[in-house]
Amino acid sequence: MTPDLTQNCFRALADPTRRDIVRLLAETNMTIGQLTDQFDMTRAAVKKHLTVLSDGGLITVTAKGRERFNSLNPQGMAPVLSWLEYFDTYWDDHLAALKTAIEKDKK
C-alpha cells in the first residue's frame, strides 16, 4: 500500500520493460511464466516489474489454482492523465502545433 499513487504510476511507466508488459496485458491476461517467455530475463526480474506496476495501480492479479493471472487496470492511467490535464489551458495556446506533432508521430 503506497500512498503517492501519482508518483508510483509515473515511476511504473518509466521503464521500457514495464511499458511493454502493460501493452502485452492490454492484449491478453497473462501469468508471470507467460510474460517471462516474452522477455530475456528471469522470472524474478519480471516479478519485480509486476510489483512496481501493481504499486502504480496499473495491474491487478487474480489467482486461479496455482496460476496467477495479471490483468491491465485501464483506470490505472488516471493519475497520469490527470496530471497532464493541468496543461490543457497552457496547451490551448499551442494546441494546433501539438496536434500536428502527434499526427506526425502516428505516421
Q: Collect all residues with Cβ–Cβ distance below 8 Å to 45 and sequence separation of at least 6.
A: 39
Q: Residue 24: which of its own copies, DNA, none does it interact with, CB under 5 to 8 A by kind?
A: none
Grid coordinates representing 94?
Answer: 499551442
Residue linked to cell 487474480: 62
- Identify whether the C-beta of residue 54 lies closer than 8 Å to the C-beta of residue 61: yes
Q: Where along the sequence are the contacts to its own copies (CB under 8 A)?
A: 4, 7, 10-11, 13-14, 16, 19, 23, 26, 72, 74-75, 77-87, 90-91, 94, 97-98, 101-102, 105-106
The only residue of 31, 60, 71, 73 in contact with DNA, by rule CB under 7 A: 31
- Identify whether the C-beta of residue 71 lies closer than 8 Å to the C-beta of residue 60: yes
Q: Residue 94: which of DNA, its own copies, none does it interact with, CB under 5 to 8 A by kind?
A: its own copies
Shortest spacing between CB 104 and its own copies, in angstroms:
9
- Identify whether the C-beta of residue 32 lies closer than 8 Å to the C-beta of residue 46: yes
Residue ranges binding DNA (CB under 7 A): 11, 14-15, 17, 31-34, 40-45, 47-50, 52, 61, 65-68
